[in-house]
Amino acid sequence: MIVTVTLNPAVDKMYWVNALKICDVTQEEFLTRALRSTTSAGGKGVNISVFLSRLGVENIAMGFVGGHTGHVIVRDLRDEGVTTNFVWTHGETRANVTLLEVGREHSPNLINESGQTILPEEMARFMRRYRSMLNRAAWVVLGGSLPPGVDPGVYGEMARMAKDAGAKVVLSTGGDALTRALDACPYIVKPDTREHKTFGDKELTSVDAIVEAGKDVVACGAEIVIISHDVTGDIAITRDAVWEIKASVPTSKFKNLVGADDVFLGGILYKLTQDAPLEEALKFGLAAGLASAESDEKICRNMSVIEEEMKDITVARL
């Protein structure tokens, strides 16, 4: 069983527009009409749960939800066949907005809310449920930002609990939540570098810098560290090897990058649960992420499209 944890999920609202206009004079109204829009459950663990469910993998999604948007998330996940075990809170789950300019979909404009404040009693209720779910978990995914009110050390605590229960941990987050969890030695670490291209005090400005940062994390006890290099390339570092995963795909093919990085990680996890070699898992993961980025849907469900994408991907040792 795979358990995904998204402590700060969101409803993703995406708008496609002909052009983004910036108002530079004072006026009563300033209108940009959307050509189309979509609304769906979002957040790192949520996106991974949806992707795995579409491939027939049973999983349970956990986290906090509240208010009207919380009901949207639970409904969407259940419609996708995902089992949910969220803690309901006093507040309203956040909404994240993405603006996509036609012809420049490879450069999305994201506006993310910080999320509802979690009360101590809500956190305690979640931890009781989480501890209970670990009895069934072979893998645990800890993903995304932390909502206000949650201690940055919580992912480290949860990773240690999962490892003590015999589960492998996948960690995908950034900032203090990431650095404070490394001592728990997650099995897979994928830093979230969307906001800042840094890892701790290291600037991830080159392949050498990425490899050095990855080796530091492996030295802390992680088995696999995956760090994005560019939109169509990633670096994977293990104790024995460094891999570069690249695709020869023009960015002009991209329609929607939201969630694609989560699908990439979900694809790797999907293959590893089948005991596939890491090289195959990395290739499949990037193919799944690219297929999603090139799809009108946020998360691609078509296995034949993913397999076709794999033909344009190389995985080479550095």
So which residues are the catalytic ones?
262
Q: Which tokens is 141 given?
A: 């995914």
Neighbours of 180 (CB within 10 A): 17
Closest C-alpha to 1, from 284, 302, 273, 188: 273
Q: Where are the alpha helices (DSSP H) in 92-236?
A: 120-133, 154-164, 175-179, 207-219
3-state SS, 159-171, equals HHHHHHCCCEEEE
Helices 44-54 and 260-272 sit at what angle, rounded to 10 degrees? 50
What's the rounded Cα separation, in Å, for the pair 143 and 188?
12
H or E element in which residue 8 lies: none
For residue 146 the two structure tokens come to: 């932390």
Asked if residues 54 and 61 have their Cβ atoms less than 8 Å apart, the reply is no
The span from the CA of 114 to the CA of 121, in Å, is 20
Single-letter amino acid, residue 9: P
CA dist., res. 70 & res. 94, Å (int): 8
Going from the C-alpha of 179 to that of each of 174, 191, 237, 265, 267, the distances in angstroms are 8, 9, 17, 19, 24
- Could you give the 3-state DSSP secondary structure of residue 43? coil
Closest by CA position to 227, among listed 219, 254, 238: 238
